[in-house]
Amino acid sequence: MATVEDKELDKLIDHIQNTFRIHENQDPTYVDIAGHLPRVSSSQHQIVFGRRGSGKSCLLVHYHRSKSKKDGTRSIYINADVFKILGFPDLLISIVLRILESVPDPNKSILNRLGLRKSRLKSLIRDFNKLLDDAQIKEVTEVQERSRSVNAEIGVRAAGVGGSFTPTVAENRSLTSTYVSEKQDYLERHLHELRTLLQDAVTSDTSIHFAVIIDDFYLIRQPVQPDLIDYLHRLTRGLDVYLKIGTVRYRTALQRYEEQTIGVELGQDVESIDLDRTLEDFSSTQSYLMSIIAQFGRQVGIDDFVAEYMNADCPTVLTEASGGVPRDCLTILVAAITDARERNPEASRITPRNIYRAARRGFTETKLTSMRNDVGTDTTVLERLFQDLVTFCLNEKRKTAFLIAEDEIGNHEYEHYLIQQLMDLKLIHVIEANTSAASGRQGRFEAYALDAAVFMEPRRRNIEVVEFWRTDDQGRRVGIREAPVYSLVRLRDVISGGPLEQDTESFLASADAENGQQ
């Protein structure tokens, strides 16, 4: 008889945990249940959207290391995390440099090899490296200038112009702006030459086409994202060079409108690939996640993991607890197996309680930490919002779901954006994008649920868990229309407050103690 102590589960745990370590120089374990790999292999500019853990990096690294080589494609993999702290345009210069260093030199004549003819590719690489070095020196000079008296006589050398003058703070800022502008002008002046060089490199190579992969694009500061993708799109447009950008949807700005549009337009300039499986189509998402688990099980010799090792309610509970995110699903599964072993080594299956306990630990250890690491200056605002949503749902309304009125969204775009941020961070989950409400409430609504880890372990007293995955006799999903409406006007007042009274971990612990356990 199977038990949670079976050695096959040790192999499964090791296999799953190895998939969490995605590195550019290692082949990840990739399970293509949804058929995304053929799409990302196509000759198209693409934005690959997905929350953290949806499989963006796994897909892109697998394509880079395995699929692209089989297709005869030359791919260049760039992780934005490496360059995210750079300002603009140094960020763009660094990425262009990475591309230049990765393409083959189209000038391979005997004269080049003998050093009798200069390689324009190598010359451009030297020029761009020098531009970055100049930027670093200039930044140090600016800091030194601002630390002195604004009336001090100092010598300044900038953009090749020497001499001394008496700077003011305004003049220092102007100098910085001018210097950045000159670097951007340099990039624009050399755009045509870069395009010609790329085209020659593609023509001289035997590959079908080139793919420039930029992973974790959302880590780049949003204000400069449109400028970055605009230049890269203009650099590669019309060539056999295709952009593959991995990012999180609501933390990405693809366009900015000035006198002209800066950036790219989805459906026109770039194709979108959405990896997110939400809880809106619960049965489809559950089937998708269980297929992934089954595939991992078969790879270590378990014929049917779900049937052999999971309680009948576990697939539903695991889908709810993971929010439909594959990596979260697998992480919770591993932790649930460990929890089952610790509590009852002779148990034949994991149970919903094992899953909820595992999800709660993961919530505080990973989701809150990821929010603070990735979001930056908006963290306090988002934590204040999340704490108020928990208070509204569990303390005031005693329900685990809430509605947002579509009528309010137009006048409160920033507040709605913050709600979407919490969804991308997996602290809440969309369960219905467009629904009506019961009790005579007019209009249309978006419906969300708190992450299950907040209220299921420990179990809160007198809380109605909205079982939105169930349907009534008219085919309507249970409980959604009866959920309370959270006003974006309230949210506006919440986020305008001062510092947090307590961090979210302490807040949740206090709420647990106040509501007690079942």
pLDDT digits (tens, 9 = 90+) for 295-305: 999 999 999 99
pLDDT digits (tens, 9 = 90+) for 497-516: 777 888 888 888 887 776 65
What's the pLDDT score for residue 136? 55
The pLDDT of residue 108 is above 70: no
Amino acid of residue 231 = Y
Alpha-carbon distance 326 to 398, whole Å? 29
Strand-pair partners of 270: 266
What's the pLDDT score for residue 138? 57
pLDDT digits (tens, 9 = 90+) for 404-428: 999 999 999 999 999 999 999 999 9
The pLDDT of residue 214 is above 60: yes
Cα angle 302, 304, 307 (rounded to 5 degrees) comes to 130
Cα 347 versus chain centre, distance: 37
Nearest-CA neighbor of 306 among 291, 288, 319?
291
- Percentage of the chain lying above the pLDDT 90 cut: 57
pLDDT digits (tens, 9 = 90+) for 376-390: 667 889 999 999 999
Alpha-carbon distance 415 to 381, whole Å? 10
pLDDT digits (tens, 9 = 90+) for 324-366: 999 999 999 999 999 999 999 889 999 999 999 999 988 877 8
pLDDT band, residue 149 (cuts 50/70/90): very low
Alpha-carbon distance 217 to 253, whole Å? 10
C-beta of residue 279 within 8 angstroms of C-beta of residue 316 = no
Q: What is the mean pLDDT of residues 297-323?
A: 94
Q: Is the Cα torsion angle 74, 79, 82, 84 positive or negative in sign?
A: positive
C-beta of residue 486 within 8 angstroms of C-beta of residue 392 = yes
What's the pLDDT score for residue 254? 95
- What burial letters (b/e) apply to 27-49, b meaning 16+ CB within 10 Å? ebebbeebebeeebbeeebbbbb
Nearest-CA neighbor of 17 among 338, 304, 288?
338
Give the right CATH number for 35-106+186-274 from 2.10.260, 3.40.50, 3.10.310, 3.90.550: 3.40.50
CATH 3.40.50, the chain: domain bounds = 35-106+186-274
In terms of DSSP bridges, do strands 46-49 and 241-247 run parallel, antiparallel, or are they unpaired?
parallel
pLDDT band, residue 170 (cuts 50/70/90): very low
Kindly state the greatest CA–CA separation across the chain. 86
- Percentage of the chain lying above the pLDDT 70 cut: 86
What's the pLDDT score for residue 188? 92
pLDDT digits (tens, 9 = 90+) for 235-251: 999 999 999 999 999 89
What's the pLDDT score for residue 156? 32
What's the pLDDT score for residue 300? 93
In terms of DSSP bridges, do strands 46-49 and 255-257 run parallel, antiparallel, or are they unpaired?
unpaired
Rounded to two decimals, what is the model's pTM? 0.83
C-beta of residue 218 within 8 angstroms of C-beta of residue 251 = yes
Residue 433 DSSP SS3? strand
